[in-house]
Amino acid sequence: MSKQLVLIGGGHAHMVTLANLATITKNGHDVTVIGPSEFHYYSGMGPGMLSGTYRPEEIRFATRLVVEKQGGTFLHGKAATIDPERRLVILENGHTVPYDVLSCNAGSHVPKPAIEGELADLYTVKPIERLMEAKDRLVNHFGRHSPDVVIVGGGPSAAEVAGNVWQLAATTGGHMPRITICAGSAFMSRFPASVRRRISSVLGRRGVIIREPVYVKSVAHDAVILNNGETLPADFIFLALGVKPSGIFADSNIATGPDGGLQVNRFLQSTQHPRIFGGGDCIYFQDQPLDKVGVYAVRQNPVLLHNIMAQLDGGDLMPFDPGGDYLLIFNLGGRVGVFKKRWLEFGGRPAFLIKDYIDRKFMKEFQAME
């Protein structure tokens, strides 16, 4: 019997499902993929796109093309809410999409501090597409003066953006910026001290100033106001305050975890509505809260595909095992990085080359679907 499968988002956790849509449609099911863009940009290579290491087309997947080639329907839009009782996804434009099985990879967003007025050069690190616009604006600044670039946040995104802004300026031949990271309580606080030292050392040699402990109270035209009353000049501001899950589930009165993500069981299935599945940054894994890192979305891929097909065709669900320790490699610009995997840790060009190889291999595998 034909059923309606709806996917919200074409991101990392849905990549294997997207690669196998032809199997689902050949089984007689209708597939609709809802996405805010016809492309999905790989966040792991976003800072490299900002610096010019990668071209935009090198770090994106053609979601619409992949869906339509396999007999599915792509809807360019954004899901606003879900009505699980009537089994409907409601889009921002008011249109509704019915489903029998729904899988959500709705992503996350960067929270914003208080903003005073309209700011032309204020950019969040997500969505990744914004980094393309940020790059052009930064190059414009470098051509005119030495801008003050302030990065709000003290995690990996802040470190990678700082390093890649430095690279962009160094390679464009314009004025070098003054880069300041407002790191909150402590820079890279959830990582080992040895990793923090390596990253701080690389950035410090490039003149990047790391302020800690310091919190941003608000941002205004040409300035960042700290909670101690200090005002920092800022011609360009990046917000890298960590990510929060999409608010679609809370807005739909669907059970969420403490972070607002869709609360799922060991089958990546809503604990409240068994026809709804999810993966990536938008979920809260009930058995073991997970870091918001792409490795878990990648590990969830085969489980989501299996369980979606089991729900459509009948069959046993497969549990998700988050696995153990995962590889960390930070791209700090200038073709250097920091590598950490269990006991092994090193920095420099070899770390970047390993990350570059892994990222390009991942892209090549899924771009082959196009």
One digit per residue, the tens of pLDDT, for the chain of length 370 reads: 789 999 999 888 999 999 999 999 999 999 999 999 999 999 899 999 999 999 999 999 999 999 999 999 999 999 999 999 999 999 999 999 999 999 999 887 777 766 665 677 888 888 888 899 999 999 999 999 999 999 999 999 999 999 999 999 999 988 999 999 999 999 999 899 999 999 999 999 999 999 999 988 888 878 899 988 899 999 999 998 877 888 899 999 999 999 999 999 999 999 999 999 999 989 999 998 888 888 899 999 999 999 999 999 999 999 999 988 889 999 999 999 999 999 999 999 999 999 999 999 999 988 877 6
**Chain centre to alpha carbon of residue 6:** 21
Closest CA to 303 of 317, 315, 316: 317
d(CA 246, CA 277): 15
Which amino acid, residue 24? I
For residue 212, give the 3-state DSSP assignment: coil
For domain 114-242+328-363, the CATH class is alpha beta
d(CA 146, CA 177): 5
Give the pLDDT confidence score for residue 124 in this predicted structure. Answer: 86
Q: Beta strand pairing status for 209-211 and 216-220?
A: unpaired
Give the pLDDT confidence score for residue 245 in this predicted structure. Answer: 84
- Type and span of the H or E element at 165: helix 156-172
The ranges assigned to domains in the chain are 4-36+77-109+243-326, 114-242+328-363
Asked whether 239 and 248 are in contact (CB, 8 A), the reply is: no
Q: Would the CATH topology of 4-36+77-109+243-326 be identical to that of 114-242+328-363?
A: yes
Distances (CA, A) of 234 to 47, 103, 123, 170, 212: 20, 41, 12, 20, 17
Q: What CATH number does the domain located at 4-36+77-109+243-326 have?
A: 3.50.50.60
Residue tagged 């972070």 (tokens) = 259
Q: Beta strand pairing status for 337-341 and 344-348?
A: antiparallel
With 0-12 CB in 10 A as exposed, 13-18 as middle and 19+ as buried, what is 46?
Answer: buried
Closest CA to 123 of 47, 183, 18, 39: 47
- Provide the edge-to-edge strand list for the sheet that holds 178-182: 122-124, 236-239, 148-152, 178-182, 209-211
